[in-house]
Copies of this chain bind each other. A is one copy, B any other.
Amino acid sequence: MYDFEEERVKQFLREHAAKRVAIQLPDGLKPYADKFVATVKDAGAEAIVLAGSCYGACDIADEMAILAKCDTLIHYGHADMGLPTRLPTLYVEARMLLDPSSALEQAVEEMEEKRVGLATTVQHLGYLQRASHVLRSKGIEPIIGGHGARAKYDGQILGCDLSCARSIADRVDNFVYIGTGLFHPLGISITTGKEVVIVNPISNSFEKLSSSRERFMLDRKAMISRASACDKFGILVSIKPGQFRPELASRLASEFRRSGRIAEILVMDEIIPEGLEDFRGFEAFVCTACPRIAIDDADRFNRPILNPFEAMVLIGRESFKPYKFDEIV
């Protein structure tokens, strides 16, 4: 299902005369760990698997690889987002070998738009041109937005970088998102105000986002309202290299204190509900780390959790509409 680019990995390891290689991979690719180890061994090196959480290229574990005495790092599943690393690092994007054309063809049957923005995550980027072709063959003009500061490719969307959608919003009637999950299409829709058709290459089906978008806005409004009854806030900072926003956290803490609330900064690696459970002194949290946490994981926290924009709404420094997705760009 994935292209793991074995030959490119071996080539890279030979070029760097790698002796001890760190392998970093997201949860979804952990079942393939033995394949990655085999590739490294084939290149004559020793493999060390970095087994912690890995949510993106923002989470690049070169420091841990150095601690584990490795000389090179292979990061699977994400595109380079330009963060500096202290070790020679190869990003293997693990493109999915699943053609979205037939799901897209079904979707197009119901579409009346003339111009459509195309966006996807790195896993499905290899099929972006094919998708453009499908749209064109049905008389729809596909427009692919230029990439932002964190995304590497045009048309590539990240949970923290919606630039490729934002940049073309006023030139398209709606968007087609190729991929899975609701978070990225929600980001596109809320940032651009446009409808998004989700074309899912795994289930080989499509759906419209619209109702989810309304529910999302209601949910977030309710979350802000729950948090506004709270006095003691934990401002969460992750030390993951591409999620680390200490200045934003300090600014938020000051603003909250100025508004008469108590706010302290909590620094951790992975921001998970279990890690906050014992901090019973805090009634609500503001997450300055990955924008997905306050949204996708909200139900797992037993206290309100806001993103920085929502926090500013709470203290009256921003208005809820137009809602702004948190981005790190």
Q: A262, A264, A267 — which one has the most chain B CB atoms within 10 A of its CB? A: A267
Residues of chain B within 8 A (CB-CB) of A50 are: 266-268
Interfacial residues, chain A to chain B (CB-CB below 8 A)? 22, 27-28, 30-34, 37, 47-53, 64, 67-69, 232, 234, 236-237, 239, 244, 246, 262, 264-270, 275-282
Residues of chain B within 8 A (CB-CB) of A281 are: 31-34
- Contact between B246 and A279, CB atoms less than 8 A apart: no
How long is the Cα–Cα vector from A187 to B239 in the complex, in angstroms?
A: 36
Residues of chain B within 8 A (CB-CB) of A270 are: 52
- Contact between B239 and A68, CB atoms less than 8 A apart: yes
How long is the Cα–Cα vector from A239 to B61 in the complex, in angstroms?
A: 12
Chain B nearest Cβ from A277, distance in angstroms: 8
- Contact between B269 and A269, CB atoms less than 8 A apart: yes
How long is the Cα–Cα vector from A268 to B268 in the complex, in angstroms?
A: 15
Known: A32-B281, A49-B234, A67-B267. 6 other contacts (CB 8 A): A22-B267, A27-B278, A30-B280, A33-B282, A49-B279, A51-B275
Residues of chain B within 8 A (CB-CB) of A282 are: 33
Chain B nearest Cβ from A32, distance in angstroms: 8
Q: A48, A51, A52, A266 — which one has the most chain B CB atoms within 10 A of its CB? A: A51
Residues of chain B within 8 A (CB-CB) of A49 are: 234, 264-267, 279
- Contact between A264 and B37, CB atoms less than 8 A apart: yes
How long is the Cα–Cα vector from A275 to B50 in the complex, in angstroms?
A: 11
Residues of chain B within 8 A (CB-CB) of A67 are: 239, 244, 267
How long is the Cα–Cα vector from A232 to B37 in the complex, in angstroms?
A: 13
How long is the Cα–Cα vector from A22 to B280 in the complex, in angstroms?
A: 19
- Contact between A51 and B239, CB atoms less than 8 A apart: no
Residues of chain B within 8 A (CB-CB) of A268 are: 50-52
Closest to A272 in B: B274
From B51, B53, B69, B232, A279 is in contact (CB under 8 Å) with B51
